[in-house]
Structure 1
Amino acid sequence: MLNGLRGAMTRFFTPIAKGLLRLGVSPDAVTITGTLVVVVTALWAFPTGHLLLGTLVIAVFVLTDSLDGVMARQAGTSGRWGAFLDSTLDRFGDGAIFAGLVLWFTAGGDDRLSAVLALACLVLGSIVPYARARAEGLGMTASGGIAERADRLALVLVATAAVGVGAPDVVLTVVLGLLTVASAVTIVQRMSKVHRQAMASVAE
């Protein structure tokens, strides 16, 4: 859903990318810095109850996630390494966000249901990209689904920010529950897509 905004984000980030390249900043440096900020913020701000502050900082760096790619294309250095680095470090950022929420739910009380749902989102959210990567490694495709990464992050960050400004905790619990289901459905969709391709290749 939110992946459709990629073209607009590329146009927005192009002048910023050119400026950073002129300053000698590399795309890899932007990727690594963004990941470090997200991980440190999520693991500090969320467990300590600074939900709104943490969400705002993380949102800025999540929105600039495509900046490194724009810089690489502008510099003519885009390739497999950059794609690998970006995808790998994304897992650290995503994991830290949900891990931070798990710590918040367990430290702020005994909300086991919400903690379990956040943990489920963390685990299932790592399987979604793995399914795609494994399929591509086997020469097939497994993209798409009802809950891609951008959608999952947008929903959990909006819900976290809402709780940070005073909404009841149940808002975040409900969103985590929906994301758990949506992530599971996305995995099934990707597995089904790969299964059809595999059966078609056998039939040939």
Structure 2
Amino acid sequence: MGSIEDRTQALQLLEDIRHVYDGQTRYHRDRAAIYESCQQPSQARQSYGRLVDLDPEDVEARVAIARLWLQELLYHYDLSLTSRMLASLRPALALQPDHRDALYYSSLALGMAAGLPREESPAMSRQGMAQARRILERDSTDLAARMLLAVHCMDLGQFNDAAAEFDLALAQSPADIRAAFQTTRWTAPVSALKALETRDAEGRASYDRAYWR
């Protein structure tokens, strides 16, 4: 989007004219996009929030707010921000129950929130599982949703179902993704990796399969 100086000038211009265009949705869509490109999510979220104020049925803006909260959550690893994601996504799903991204981010947020110390964790995982399945009912090739479904199965102790979903997702994945997920080098603890040092390629592949199971 040009040099840093160009971006700074564009942002300053946006703020200078805000009092004129604050009631127009196009202004806030442009403002949100520019602030996102400049890695300023809080300002982008502010404009998406203004879009919701102007049009409470703007589902895309509500989903964008949740997506930006997810970025902040991952940056700070603050799982409490899942509540803000869900607060934005509930009305979005009430407006469009089959909106793919709203379902996905909600399912993801529910899965992460289930890791917080609260009694309703299994219920949240089950709700997240239902949302992932709803995506797959409309598109059985949605790999991200299938992986997420597998994680929910694991969280609920449904390990055979989780393995089946992982296997199906990997079978549909490009070769590089299969290679990444089918190796313990991405997820195993150091103690497990030490066991691989003396194995040949076939032995490592066998170990990988056993580890994932």
The structure whose Rg is larger is: 2
Alignment TM-score > 0.5, same fold: no
Bigger RCO (CA 8 Å, 6+ sep)? 1
Compute the TM-score of the two structures, normalised by the length of structure 1.
0.30
TM-score (norm 2): 0.29
Higher helix share: 1
